[in-house]
């Protein structure tokens, strides 16, 4: 049973990037409680129209779609004028894309966030805002001494291995994506300090779960499963021993609701958010888990390390746990199996023709 209430201020919640993976899960939780939600999304990412269609079929008129882009200042202002709370997910999400087109990456991630903050600041009673940043703001963590043990990387410092990377870690933006998300989060934090807005930041590790259409560049847990289901090989950049903490999306939704509920105390702070040391997995270990679920190990093709890749990243979530009493509930095997079952069901239904989403004016 989920532990966090969906109660909140009157009026619709605004979710930017609202048809995306995490956003769809947040929207469903809020809509299921009878609360209207403004789904603000330009529908540019593959699969998100399916998420929006699913929300509309499930919740009807409570879903208020706005097909627009956070770079559109007027559209942002109109959406914010109706919002009582804001979950800000809209972003360019891939390091690889940012390397090809840094200008667009900046415009979406940094300028889009600033457009949103300014619209919030214009309100007589500004709504609270939670922004999803990234663990990439800590750079490649090359100075963290690692040992390779049982086919995975671990810190040689036992205290770090037991707790993970904390918010005390100095920021070190790597890649245009890391810079644009890092700049955006610093604006979010500063608008709390300078203008008194109720804003906070989650520095996200790897999130996975239903409604995730993972690609090679983003959403790797779902991507590995999709490749396995379709009988295609997985490309691993590096040696596959790199380790991440993974967090099932329902646990993340709990954390986000807890953050908004406690925003008066949490405003102006950044929190590392992931599964923590109890929910870690290497890329090679995920292949082994997929083999246990499907009866067949996905073929793997190994390639060179990618720019700014972290060989080890595990979130220290104690700061947020101490502030809210939140903790992850879904373990790695349970969560991966739930995502696998959802993907099997969803991909079987993909052959059914669907009606395109109507572009609703903002």
3-state secondary structure 265-314: HHCCCEEEECCCCCCEEEHHHHHHHHHHHHCCCCCEEEECCCCCCCCEEC
The fold adopted by the segment(s) 91-212+246-274+315-329 is Rossmann fold (3.40.50)
Q: Which of 4, 138, 153, 177 is catalytic?
A: 177
Catalytic residue flag (residue 4): no
pLDDT at 10: 72
pLDDT at 361: 42
How confident is the prediction along the chain (362 residues), in pLDDT tens digits per residue?
344 545 566 789 999 999 999 999 999 999 999 999 999 999 998 889 999 999 999 999 999 999 999 999 999 999 999 999 999 999 998 888 999 999 999 999 999 999 999 999 999 999 999 999 999 899 999 999 999 999 999 999 999 999 999 999 999 998 899 999 999 999 999 999 999 999 999 999 999 999 998 777 678 999 999 999 999 999 999 999 999 999 999 999 999 999 999 999 999 999 999 999 999 999 999 999 999 999 999 999 999 998 778 999 999 999 999 999 999 999 999 999 999 999 999 876 654 444 444 444 44
Half-sphere exposure of 122 (CA within 13 A, CB side): 16
DSSP string, 10-27: SS-EEEETTTSHHHHHHH
pLDDT at 318: 98
pLDDT at 265: 98
Domain ranges of the chain: 91-212+246-274+315-329
Residue 8 CB neighbour total at 10 angstroms: 17
164-190 in b/e form (b: 16+ CB < 10 A) is bbebebeebbbbbbbbbbbbbbbbbbe
Phi-psi region of 171 (alpha: psi -120 to 50; beta: other; left: phi over 0): beta
pLDDT at 93: 85
Nearest to 120 by CA among 163, 90, 151, 76: 76
pLDDT at 4: 52
Residue 151 CB neighbour total at 10 angstroms: 12
pLDDT at 215: 76
């Amino acid at each position: 049973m989920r532990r966090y209430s969906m109660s909140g201020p009157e009026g619709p919640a605004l979710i930017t990037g609202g048809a995306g993976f995490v956003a769809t899960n947040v929207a469903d939780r809020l809509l299921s409680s009878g609360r209207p939600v403004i789904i603000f999304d330009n529908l540019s990412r593959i699969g998100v129209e399916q998420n929006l269609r699913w929300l509309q079929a499930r919740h009807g008129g409570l879903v208020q779609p706005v097909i627009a882009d956070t770079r559109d200042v007027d559209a942002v202002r109109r959406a914010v004028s109706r919002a009582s709370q804001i979950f800000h997910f809209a972003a360019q999400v891939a390091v690889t894309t940012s390397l090809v087109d840094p200008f667009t990456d900046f415009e979406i991630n940094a300028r889009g966030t600033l457009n949103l903050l300014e619209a919030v600041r214009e309100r007589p009673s500004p709504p609270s805002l939670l922004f999803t940043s990234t663990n990439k703001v800590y750079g490649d963590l090359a100075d963290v001494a690692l040992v390779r043990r049982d086919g995975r990387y671990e810190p040689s410092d036992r205290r770090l291995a037991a707790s993970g990377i904390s918010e005390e870690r100095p920021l070190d933006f790597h890649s245009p994506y890391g810079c644009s998300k890092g700049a955006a989060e610093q604006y979010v934090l500063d608008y709390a300090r300078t203008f008194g807005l109720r804003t906070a930041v989650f520095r996200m590790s790897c999130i996975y779960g239903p409604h995730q259409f993972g690609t090679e560049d983003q959403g790797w847990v779902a991507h590995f499963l999709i490749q396995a289901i379709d009988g295609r090989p997985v490309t691993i950049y590096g040696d596959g021993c790199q380790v991440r903490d993974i967090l099932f999306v329902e646990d993340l939704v709990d954390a986000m609701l807890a953050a908004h509920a406690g925003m008066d105390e949490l405003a102006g702070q950044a929190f590392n958010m992931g599964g923590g040391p109890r929910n870690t997995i290497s890329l090679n270990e995920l292949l082994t888990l997929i083999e246990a679920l499907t009866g067949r190990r996905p073929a793997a093709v190994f390639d060179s390390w990618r720019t700014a890749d972290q060989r080890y990243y595990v979130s220290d979530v104690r700061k947020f746990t101490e502030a809210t009493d939140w903790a992850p509930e879904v373990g790695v095997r349970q969560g991966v199996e739930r995502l696998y079952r959802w993907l099997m069901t969803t991909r079987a239904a993909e052959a059914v023709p669907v009606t395109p989403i109507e572009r609703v004016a903002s």
